[in-house]
Amino acid sequence: MNICIIGAGNIGTYLAAYISMKEDCKVWIHTSKPHLFKDELILIEEEKNLSHNVKLHCVTSSLEEAVKDADYILITHPSFLIEKTINEISNFVKPNAVVGIIPGFGGKEYFAKKLIEKGAIFFGTQRVPSIIRLEKYGECVVLKEKNPFMKIGAIPSKYTEKICEDMTKLIDITCKPVSNYLAITLSPSNPIMHPSRLYELFKDYKHGETVYKRSPLFYEEWGDEASKTLLELDEELYTIFESLNENNNFNSKCIEQIKTRFETEDPSVLSHKINTAPGFQGIGSPIVKCIDGFIPDLSSRYFIEDVEFGLCIIKAFAELCELDTPKLDEIIRWSEYLLNKEYLVGTQLKGKDSKELLIPQNKGIKTKKELIEFYTSL
């Protein structure tokens, strides 16, 4: 099987190295910096205390070369690059190729149509497959912890089970099908988890005034305030799903809640579980050094990805469902100040920067009924 990986960051490098160890797979990886890749990648499996030297089939900066013969194309680019990436690969993708976005939330389903018109199949994942850290670009990647499973939704949905079978074999992680892509879009993963911790860390930050004395660990020092925020956002997110599912159009078993995933509704218990999770050890916060200490790294994907392509999309769904989301609004307003954006006017996404958002309202979906119809049609 020919596999193309687009994006050579944490997830992309790991997938390229891991799948390359499969005897029947040839892996192409697309990167803008192929000259930084060594002849072999080092893949360290931290849990098993194993190290592998892996040779990829091809490292290239040419999208055409990477994509044209691929049976599976796995895109790991950040959300703001997805539209551009899909537009470009649609010129080269072969019929029946499977194009997957990892992870698949963030409005990426709005770009599936272009690929389907080319005869391809689209899918997205509810979470990333594993906790990974790139040790050195083009040289070494560390698999810190494999997730026990990964949920996948495909467009058209009839292909979901076959894709799950294939992906399970490729990454040796059980891939479970969801019956509708809505379960991917409303995943309670990075879009609510990262902002909960960022708010705890930086809610008092003032541009040009605040300097922090140290750089905290993101998960090992996660506090109860972040857990309380996360559980509140989790409830608001699930209320949105319940509103969309008032006529049982969607399978509630496919929607994973934070309180279910971590088996607790107690903030202190949740904090302890996050603090001690093996895969979360040693991960720093999005923070950069300045003259007198540290300030938040506002260019980090933790801010850009999880606010614009996370919280704001969830808020857009709440608006169409005519639901109040006080905690969500609170975090968005705080992030507006940090990022110098205006998304909300009052409690509505009517700010000057809301027109840039990848939300259903900007894709011609203006009512809850139309939103339900869109997802049931996928």
Question: With 90 as the cut, is the pLDDT of residue 216 above it?
Answer: yes
Write the CATH number of the domain with boundaries 2-184: 3.40.50.720
CA 81 distance to own-chain centroid? 13
Beta carbons of 277 and 219 less than 8 angstroms apart: yes
Q: C-alpha distances in angstroms, 293 versus 128, 209, 211, 288? A: 32, 12, 6, 9
Please list the residue range(s) of the chain that carry CATH number 1.10.1040.10.
Answer: 188-376
Give percent of the chain above pLDDT 90.
96
Mean pLDDT taken over the chain: 96
Q: Give me the DSSP letters along 252-317.
A: GGGPPPHHHHTT---HHHHHHHHHH-GGGTTPBPSEEE-SSSEEE-TTSHHHHHHIIIIIHHHHHH
Q: Give me the DSSP letters along 179-199.
A: SSTHHHHT--SHHHHHHHHHH
Q: Supply the pLDDT for residue 142.
A: 96
Q: Supply the pLDDT for residue 6.
A: 98
Q: C-alpha distances in angstroms, 374 versus 7, 105, 313? A: 29, 16, 15
Report d(CA 207, CA 204) in Å as an integer.
Answer: 10
Other CB atoms within 10 A of residue 189 CB: 20
165: left (phi over 0), alpha (psi -120 to 50) or beta: alpha
Tens digit of each residue's pLDDT (9 = 90 or more) over 280-307: 999 999 999 999 999 999 999 899 899 9
Residue the block writes with tokens 């988890």 = 193
Tens digit of each residue's pLDDT (9 = 90 or more) over 176-186: 999 999 999 99
Q: C-alpha distances in angstroms, 72 versus 82, 146, 268? A: 16, 21, 42
CATH 3.40.50.300 matches 188-376: no
Please list the residue range(s) of the chain that carry CATH number 3.40.50.720.
Answer: 2-184
DSSP letter at 345 equals: B
Q: Supply the pLDDT for residue 257.
A: 92
Report d(CA 2, CA 32) in Å as an integer.
Answer: 20
Tens digit of each residue's pLDDT (9 = 90 or more) over 20-54: 999 999 999 999 999 999 999 999 999 899 999 99
Picking from 157, 133, 136, 149, the residue whose alpha carbon sits closest to that of residue 219 is 133
pLDDT, average across residues 164-177: 97
